[in-house]
Amino acid sequence: MKAYTLTSSSAPARTRWQRFVARRLPSVVIGMMVATLMVTVLYPHVVVTVPSGHVGVLWKRLGGFGIYCWCVVNRGTVLEPRELREEGLHIIWPWDRLYLYDLRLQTATQTYNANSKDGVSLAASISVRYQLKHNSVAQLHKFIGPAYADSVVLPEIGSRAREIISKYSAEAVYSTSRQAIEDAIRDSAEIKLGLQLDRLVEPETSDQFQSEFGKPVVPDLRHAIDILDTLVLGISLPEPVMAAINRKIEQLYIAQEYEFRVVREGRESERKRIEAAGIRDFQRIVSEGISESYLRWRGIEATLQLAQSNNAKTVIIGSNKDGLPIILGNADAPPPPLPPSGGGTSPTRTAPQPPTSSETAPSTGLTETP
């Protein structure tokens, strides 16, 4: 009886649970599917990641209450710099939008047509490097938008480039004044761009710039874009003009070459003049210290050294009063023809002699007859 009672009481309980699951299961499945679909659809609009070097500007579709104080926030672009979304993960309402702006150094390059001072039409390829200011990004987004480079920066750079290039001749633009043109374009574009951006907010009133902190945000676009420098990458002139400029520069360098040649020849002439003066002084000094007896003594020494040499030699005995020999050549050369008898000189052939000291060498009889 007890076993029957337990079985009869548990069976109705399992039946009620199964009936409950059977009734609720379709609703649960449909609810989970709807929730999954909503998460899938709304996730990109709710969860936003701000990458490195960027900042997010929040745009609100509906008004509401601020995060930091219980005050009504105007809908639209949030201009308060403290409300900018920094790097990382952020969650927003699905009906709001978060616009990302790059705060890193950016470069834009474009080719502009311009006319030089002398009326030559040319094409200048100019690259501008610029950077956005953090606190002015929201105002830049409100009044200009993400396409600020094509709307403001590049047209202003082109206008300033045409104005500056028109002050220089084609030759100066092509060859000598490129650095001055780059600096002038950057300085002029920075001033003009600031004035142009500042005029964009004049029609607005301060009531439209209420922040979530209860204080009005003063618009300041003058320094929203910082132009670091402008680089002239290339100048394209008509072919005849470029050829004429190149020929002129070539002739200029040729003229400078001739000038250097004249200077070089002048210095070479001065060098030779100094060298001649030195030789003249040397000869004067030497001639004053050399006498006939000294030359005779040097001839005797040379004759002694000749006699002591082991090499065969041909010697002609001089017929003058000194009687010093004259060396004609080596013994390997063919001997000269013998002069007829009765001549003033007689050629002799010397044989190799053993070396002797200058003390034992005879002063006469230096040649040996065969």
Q: What is the DSSP string of 13-64?
A: HHHHHHHHHHHHHHHHHHHHHHHHHHHHHHHHHHEEEE-TTEEEEEEESS-E
Residue range 100-114, pLDDT digits in tens? 999 999 999 999 999
Range from 69-73, 82-86, 215-219, 358-362 carrying the lowest mean pLDDT: 358-362
Per-residue pLDDT band for 66 (boundaries 50, 70, 90) equals very low
Strands (E), 193-224: none
- Chain mean position to CA 246: 24
Tell me which of 25 and 260 has the higher pLDDT. 260
Per-residue model confidence (pLDDT) at position 64: 56
Q: Could you tell me what percent of the chain has a pLDDT over 90?
A: 24
Range from 88-92, 312-316, 356-360 carrying the lowest mean pLDDT: 356-360
Mean pLDDT of 314-325: 60
313 and 350 Cβ atoms separated by less than 8 Å: yes
* pTM for this prediction: 0.57
Mean pLDDT of 183-195: 89
248 and 171 Cβ atoms separated by less than 8 Å: yes
Tally: H helices and E strands in the chain: 8, 13
